Amino acid sequence: MPDEPALEADHDALALLRDERDRAIEVLRLIEEDGWTHYEAHGAGDTMREVTAKRANRQRQIIERMDRLIALFDRRP
């Protein structure tokens, strides 16, 4: 019989992965469909730069990684 605490931890980890993936999907949707724009500055006195494309790409990376991790959990016995 599988270890119950391990199964519970797996369930919690899978729920967290799905939540993070859903959050990344929503941010990407807001960028692509609702026209959200992102800006950032590095350090005091730095000028703000538009980084929307960078943020969209980061969300895509997060989604891909979460999908791979979720697939690993789904394939477990």
Torsion of CA 66, 70, 72, 75, to 10 degrees: -160
The two three-digit tokens of residue 57, written as one number: 């790409």
Is the model's pLDDT at 4 over the cut of 90? Answer: no
Alpha-carbon gap, residue 77 to 61, rounded angstroms: 27
Q: Residue 3's pLDDT is what?
A: 60
Tens digit of pLDDT for each residue in 6-62?
A: 667 788 889 999 999 999 999 999 999 999 999 999 888 899 999 999 999 999 999
pTM: 0.80
Query: Are 67 and 21 within 8 A, CB to CB?
Result: yes
Give the helix/strand (H/E) hosting 18.
helix 4-34
pLDDT band per the 50, 70, 90 thresholds, residue 1: very low
Does residue 50 sit in helix, strand or coil? strand
* Domain spans, the chain: 4-75
Q: Residue 8's pLDDT is what?
A: 74
